Structure 1
Amino acid sequence: MWRSRQTKHRDFRDDVLSAIDALRDRFDVSEYGSLDYDGERFPLLAVRSRGWQDGLPVMLVTGGVHGYETSGVHGALQFVREHGNDHAGQANLLVVPCVSPWAYERIHRWNPDAIDPNRNFREGSPSGEAAALVALLAPLRGRVLMHIDLHETTDSDESEFRPALAARDGKAYEPGEIPDGFYLVDDTANPQPEFQQAIIDAVAKVTHIAPADANGEIIGSPMVAPGVIEYALKELGLCAGITGARYTTTTEVYPDSPRATPQQCNDAQVAAVRAAIAYALAHPAG
């Protein structure tokens, strides 16, 4: 019944595949898997540096793990288009702009099986989106220096998706508070505060940073530094925990703020990626 109510609002091929096709003259594009939902096939594409060198560190950018988080997808594409060759010869770039194409079209958090890919990045995942990305990245374990996963926190998290999650799991819905502004999620098991700060400093030039709430928290987690909270990435099955990279972070843009435009949201994601790569290259040994 839930799935029958999901409708297509935008087109993955028009919005994303066409943008990736326009990059083929400068980057290598590969299909690392596909998803078949109700007879419709969604190719999963990755964009790589042309002239990949095995001796160089890998910089990984993922977007669209949650399909409704628009700037995660379009920020990743904008970064590749405008800055994808900035560090040619210094690092290998791997960008997966839209991990969840079915959800992108339906502006949703879940896949058609009501599974959140971003709690299921592990071997044997029930999420086809997560399983395909885990398989793509498995040969790169130990070689990824930096992984930045591009997300948004939206008003619909509170108005739609958290109530739906409670209903799906048969639990009582407990209202929360959506932060107004950009923030980051560091890894509890491998905190990198200077790395996070470098990203916050760069993004603050583009859009505002989320303050803590009255409890000193952002979405229920203590703020450990301005605009930064921590999650146990691998334990929770989050995308940024896949590779065991030295430097990991999850961006959270707030597109519903009256103080931010859609272009600002994309620009904030681009600024975050650029700062993350620059910091990782300047501090390869931590």
Structure 2
Amino acid sequence: MSSPTFHPIGIPGQPWGPAEKAAWRAQQTRRRSYADDVLSVIERLRARFDVLEYGQLDYAPDVYPLLALRSRDWHDDRPIVLVSGGVHGYETSGVHGALAFLESRADAYAGRVNLLVAPCVSPWAYERIHRWNPLAVDPNRSFRPDSPAAESAALIELVAPWRGRVRVHVDLHETTDSDESEFRPALAARDGKRHEPGEIPDGFYVVGDSERPQLAFQQAVIAAVAEVTHIAPADRDGAIIGSPMVAPGVILYPVRELGLCAGITDAPFTTTTEVYPDSPRATPEQCNAAQVAAVAAAIDFALAH
């Protein structure tokens, strides 16, 4: 896939300042509704789960409540499972997969685990089908102290009381063709760098923590998702998106060093899913089902080990 060398905003080689970021934000338009797509589903689930408002994003003229759902029968002696979706708002199946898991599979774990699910961490970006928040900040590089992203800071604060007790964290993502055609060129332009074209893998893969790789756990997630959709092969260099494939469909990142959502707890079992929604071999329903299968497999593995 060919990609533009330079982004239309800014001067090549010079990082964006306030004017360029304002110009970028002015181009972003609402293309779908957080209230209709997400909040309405949470309302349906309110009969079965406790709903927590863990923050509010004030991006005038828009205000977004940040909501998480928690097991109603929460008991301190049970393992905690954290599921996060929509950290990158444009990654649709992350949001809808998290909600679908609650609707279709969560009851199977009642009385066995405590569930804490934040289905749409970045609602402004969800509505605009974008990777960044309105300040041109990537929330999934911002899970660190004094975070520059309000979305990330709010989730860190929500999870903080249980950080050391979370056993499983599944962070639901997608890798899309627009990563290469739109978002990576924009990132290079924002940072005053040259965009180097890359390759989008065709299929599902996971990103483990290089500090705590847990390869058997990652492979259990891959095996479950393979029943739903195809797994990404390595490229000619034995890599996926530039990282060596350490097992079929598995790569590793230093998640805390990079400020990724997957590093916000001390969970021994943590993975970032990457669905490929642009494949001609995958439907939106399959993408959501892949996320559901990944969450269930992660919990099953943790309970068995």
Structure 1 residue 154: Cα displacement: 0.1
In structure 2, the residue matched to 1:236 is 258
Structure-to-structure mapping, 1:216-255, within 5 angstroms: 216-255=238-277
Match of 2:229 among 187, 207, 212: 207
AA aligned to 2:143 is: F
CA distance in 2 between counterparts of 1:121 and 1:85 reads 30
Structure 1 residue 142: Cα displacement: 1.1
CA distance in 1 between counterparts of 2:213 and 2:66 reads 31
CA distance in 1 between counterparts of 2:75 and 2:144 reads 27
AA aligned to 1:67 is: G
AA aligned to 2:226 is: A
In structure 2, the residue matched to 1:76 is 98
> Is contact 1:49-1:85 (8 Å) kept?
no
Identical counterparts, % of pairs? 71
TM-score (norm 1): 0.98
Residues 1:140 and 2:162 are matched in the alignment:
yes
Residues 1:257 and 2:266 are matched in the alignment:
no
Structure 1 residue 83: Cα displacement: 1.1
CA distance in 2 between counterparts of 1:88 and 1:6 reads 41
In structure 1, the residue matched to 2:183 is 161
AA aligned to 2:73 is: G
In structure 1, the residue matched to 2:108 is 86
Residues 1:8 and 2:60 are matched in the alignment:
no
Structure-to-structure mapping, 1:122-201, within 5 angstroms: 122-201=144-223
Residues 1:269 and 2:279 are matched in the alignment:
no
Match of 1:27 among 17, 28, 49: 49
Instruction: Tell me the C-alpha RMSD between the 2 structures.
Output: 0.5
Larger radius of gyration: 2
> Is contact 2:165-2:266 (8 Å) kept?
no
Q: Which runs of 5+ in 1 are unaligned?
A: none
TM-score (norm 2): 0.92
AA aligned to 1:140 is: W
CA distance in 1 between counterparts of 2:29 and 2:192 reads 24
Structure 1 residue 39: Cα displacement: 2.6
Structure 1 residue 182: Cα displacement: 0.1
Matched positions, count: 283
Once the two structures are superposed, residues 30-80 of structure 1 have per-residue CA deviations (whole angstroms, 9 ceiling, x without a partner) of: 100010001311000000001110111100100000000000000000000
Structure-to-structure mapping, 1:40-55, within 5 angstroms: 40-55=62-77
